[in-house]
Structure 1
Amino acid sequence: MRLRYSFALLALSISGLTQAAIDPQYQYLNALPAPQDTLVLPLRSNDVKDGKHSLLTDPQLKQQIAAAGFTGKAGTISQLYQVAGYQRVLLLGLGDKPVIADDKLAAYGGDLAVALDKSSAQQVTIDGRYLAAMPQLIHGLELRAYRFDQLKSKAEAPRKVAVNVVVADVKNAEQQHQQLQAVAEGVYLARDLTNLPAADLTPQSFAEAALALQKLGVKVTVLDEKAIDKLGMGALAAVGRGSERPPRLVIAQWQGDNKAPLAIVGKGITFDTGGYNLKTDGESIVRMTSDMAGAAAVLGTIKALALQKAKVNVVGLMAMAENMISSNAYLPGDVLKTAQGLTVQITSTDAEGRLVMADAMWYARKEYQPRAMVDIATLTGSKVGALGSYYAGLFSEDEALTGALLQAAKQSGEPLWRLPLSDEFAGELKSDIADLRNTGKTTGASTAAWFLKQFAGDTPWAHLDIAGNALASSDKGVHPTGATGFGVRLLTQWSLQQP
């Protein structure tokens, strides 16, 4: 399942789960093998207190656990040496709850990945016989083990680690692992693309990343600047006009059944200068290589579904452009005509994401008549002010779709918080010379969502604002520092749950 591919215009290769600090090689077993160098014991507080775990009958192990002060507190890890026939034993605290949520288990797996990376372990046994959702912990381990070092002059190869995972039901655990590893591959792709600098990731090279998924059975279409102009996509064309690297509309469809498709639409600004409303914060503009994280999440979701051979029909549309300054760039005050026919007065060239998304949403409705549509974008700084990186913003007036997304968010560990969306915001986007302005005057996140709503038509639709969620400023949980791939787990979960 570890797929390698390369882009013609990139001098580096982006590969699956091989880009990690450690490269675990898994084997699922239903009984503990002979002691090897490292044993991992996931333990609840009651296991430690009552000695219920079978291995806790070993008096030496019990003595060392007591000496280490390990109580099973959630998220704690203690390391013991030369006990129970093992060179080292890692104690992983699971807390005192009888049922552990999947996202919590994944976070504990992330902590375990750090501990294994720091150790010299070559052969690891994880005793998960008392943990029904063991593959979720392994999923977190894989997500945290990721690293992006292709651009370093002396990148180290990941250390291979043989991992025996002992579970009560091997067949079920292997099946869950395969599905979750497909999701992890999608997350890795999204992270890779988001981490790349703008010189290496252009609208065209992003399109080539999508074309590489054809080998998985994904149907890929790329509309170049001529096709975009011919279709009347004046908003997408205008945003990309200032760059020597022209815009693209990338469509990737995984058709696992014959139902009307679900559509996911991603913002793909490969670099955002702000245009003539130039960004002036030096730290902020450096992060604008990640302004295509929404599109990356869409492509990662399509890959995850394809690797699972999921029985769903999902089409991803990624509006790719580079927002640059030149004599050809669009200007504040310009009026653009979108493919839907609505005209937009440009009150800020730094509100470009909603423009490219507008034409992509129109195309999704026109060509695919989706039964539901979700867009995902690093769209507004005001969303960060409201929710930080703790939640992504969810905007929708469709209660059924909202409920489904909130449920998927809870299950996937990628949290959403619903923010207001209503026609009360219409006045903020009223223009004297066009149908719409592209910015409001006060409520930035909600007015941006209301703008996008004008291009959703009658299709059940939701907008996800992931500004602040696309990058992690420090290592935490399942996320190493850098691109998070936020949205892949959420959108994959949502897609698989739709009737």
Structure 2
Amino acid sequence: MKKDRITTITKAAETIKTDLLVYFAVEEKGKMPACDAAVKPQVEKAFELKDFSGKAAEQILFYPAAGSKMSAARVLVLGIGAVNKENDKGNALDMLREAGGQVAKACASVKARETVICLPDPKYLSGALTDPQASAAALAEGVILGDYRFDKYKESTKKKTDYPGLGAIKFVCIGNLNLIRQGIEKAKHSAFAACTARDMANEPGNHWTSADFAAYAKQLAADTGLGYRCIEKKEMEQMGMGGILAVNQGSHVPARMVILEYLPEDATETILLVGKGLTFDSGGISIKPSAGMEDMKYDMCGGAAVMCAMQAVAQEKPDVGVVAIVPATDNMSGARAIHPGDIITHYNGVTSEVINTDAEGRLILADALAWGIERFKPTCVLDAATLTGAVIIGLGHHYTGLVSNNDALVKALEFAGNLAGEPVWRLPLNKNYEKQIESKVADIKNTGGKPAGTITAAAYLSNFVGKTPWAHLDIAGTAWDFTEKAYVPKGPSGTATRTFINLVRNWKTGKIK
């Protein structure tokens, strides 16, 4: 879908010719659902028959008769659920995001190429949803995210009758048109950024390498004015980036460290984002089991999240500086591959005993964190990585694991993730966990055994951030197979992209002390 085909209008919805016209109904306990007068007769009848009460995802689909005032080919009334003042803002907005996802599903079901969506009347909403900008943004995000599909490599199995997705969306608004347009513009920035992150993750390992990360960043910089730099393998060797070089030893594709910079002259603070760009992870010599190894093309989802967040940063031009770094390589078991027991030296001089070559993500992140903090002296640094299977054991696929050395940064991330529908859960970090990665022959070792695997991975990274406020997001459980939602497809979710965008947007009000 093209961004310029998503528009906001005030024209009477029933006069517009479209494939599918959408209205919303709000559940009201024991009463007929609140809805637009245009569909009140249909809702009233369905309610009397106990077929519809406005619960989330409930639907009435009807076809206006010839001579009807409605010009649409089909009309959908979609239940949002109950909305009240007690609804947490994040959960309330996610109700609308889910509703948007249901709209996209309904469009796919009837193969609608164009849809007109009547935004809910504010008088039917309450609590957090009375903010028209935020409500419109959440609903629009849900439709765009829910319409996502990846069929780039379907050739002989692709049919002319296959639904290609929505071609145009018109939002009909009631109230402050400017505010609602601003909300939908923001939704386009964040939702399309997340969809691009999904595209990157869906690319197979032979079509998305470190060179592709660099090419994407270079083109984005050329299109938007962001600063771009790519540190190549020879420069890494001169700089002593032993972690990323060690992981790359078994590969024929050179490692790269890709950097995008948004540094306005008047900015007094800088947020540093670091994303794991492991384009395919075989496990190296500590090879992974073959079952499910095809999913290891997703091991670069952290890198995709920070790169694509910069897409929105470039469009919105915030007052705070933002820098993204992606250390990118694959992890293969070629003739020169690193062995278990080898000792490496990271950029900041810390030596590490490599116990398991499949614990490679922390090795490449360590160099990026140390170099990025030294180079940019950020106000805070955040990293996102599909780092450990242990986080799935602990939190399942519903929360991103969070480890941090700063309480205020944790609160800011919790708020940003909640707004995005991407919740985080903080795990502890102290000397007891740090002891688990002590080595007898080097400063540290790259695994601390099975117990608390997510936390000991973060303990490893803590050696490379110093006193800089830092937060680590382990997205191994949420980058794919995330909680089932109408706007989240099977496969990669784009997790962390919108969380980072929200963090930047709310930096002034929720910044760390």
Aligned equivalent of 2:136: 134
Cα shift at 1:129: 4.7
- Measure, in 2, the Cα distance between the counterparts of 1:31 and 1:171: 18
- SS class of match (1:288): helix
Q: CA deviation digits over 1:284-334, x for unaligned, max 9?
A: x11110101000000011111112223321000111111111121111000
Q: Note the 1:435-450 alignment, pairs <5 A.
A: 435-441=443-449, 442-450=451-459
**Residues 126 and 163 of structure 1 are in contact (CA less than 8 Å); yes or no, is this contact kept in structure 2?**
yes
- Measure, in 2, the Cα distance between the counterparts of 1:328 and 1:58: 70
Q: Note the 1:377-416 alignment, pairs <5 A.
A: 377-416=385-424
- Measure, in 1, the Cα distance between the counterparts of 2:166 and 2:472: 40
- Measure, in 2, the Cα distance between the counterparts of 1:327 and 1:293: 27
Select which of 198, 216, 221 maps to 2:229: 221
- SS class of match (2:478): coil
Q: CA deviation digits over 1:153-207, x for unaligned, max 9?
A: 1556445245342332211111111111011121122111111001001111211
**Residues 28 and 167 of structure 1 are in contact (CA less than 8 Å); yes or no, is this contact kept in structure 2?**
no
**Residues 260 and 369 of structure 1 are in contact (CA less than 8 Å); yes or no, is this contact kept in structure 2?**
no
Q: Structure 1 regions of 5+ residues with no counterpart?
A: 1-16
* Shift in CA distance, 29/135, structure 1 to aligned 2, threshold 3 Å: farther
- Measure, in 1, the Cα distance between the counterparts of 2:83 and 2:33: 16
AA partner of residue 493 (structure 1): N
- SS class of match (1:373): strand
AA partner of residue 478 (structure 2): N
Q: Does 1:34 align with 2:20?
A: no
**Residues 239 and 323 of structure 1 are in contact (CA less than 8 Å); yes or no, is this contact kept in structure 2?**
yes
- SS class of match (1:454): helix
Aligned equivalent of 1:76: 58
**Residues 30 and 169 of structure 1 are in contact (CA less than 8 Å); yes or no, is this contact kept in structure 2?**
no
TM-score, structure 2 length as denominator? 0.88
- SS class of match (2:116): strand
- Which shows bigger deviation, 124-133 or 112-121? 124-133
- Which shows bigger deviation, 183-192 or 115-124? 115-124
Q: Note the 1:225-304 alignment, pairs <5 A.
A: 225-256=233-264, 257-283=266-292, 285-304=293-312
- SS class of match (1:45): strand
- Measure, in 2, the Cα distance between the counterparts of 1:147 and 1:474: 18
AA partner of residue 394 (structure 1): L
Q: Note the 1:324-335 alignment, pairs <5 A.
A: 324-335=332-343
- Measure, in 2, the Cα distance between the counterparts of 1:117 and 1:24: 17
**Residues 56 and 62 of structure 1 are in contact (CA less than 8 Å); yes or no, is this contact kept in structure 2?**
no
Cα shift at 1:210: 0.9
- SS class of match (1:483): coil
Aligned equivalent of 2:511: none
Cα shift at 1:118: 1.1
Aligned equivalent of 1:211: 218
* Shift in CA distance, 65/41, structure 1 to aligned 2, threshold 3 Å: farther
Matched positions, count: 479
AA partner of residue 418 (structure 1): R
Q: CA deviation digits over 1:459-485, x for unaligned, max 9?
A: 000100000211137963211112111
The percentage of aligned residue pairs carrying the same residue is 33
Aligned equivalent of 1:12: none
**Residues 362 and 460 of structure 2 are in contact (CA less than 8 Å); yes or no, is this contact kept in structure 1?**
yes
Aligned equivalent of 1:113: 104
AA partner of residue 195 (structure 2): Y
RMSD over aligned CA atoms reads 2.2
AA partner of residue 76 (structure 1): E
TM-score, structure 1 length as denominator? 0.91
* Shift in CA distance, 148/364, structure 1 to aligned 2, threshold 3 Å: same
Q: Does 1:92 align with 2:68?
A: no
- SS class of match (1:482): coil
* Shift in CA distance, 164/409, structure 1 to aligned 2, threshold 3 Å: closer
AA partner of residue 463 (structure 1): H
- Measure, in 2, the Cα distance between the counterparts of 1:53 and 1:279: 54
**Residues 26 and 163 of structure 1 are in contact (CA less than 8 Å); yes or no, is this contact kept in structure 2?**
yes
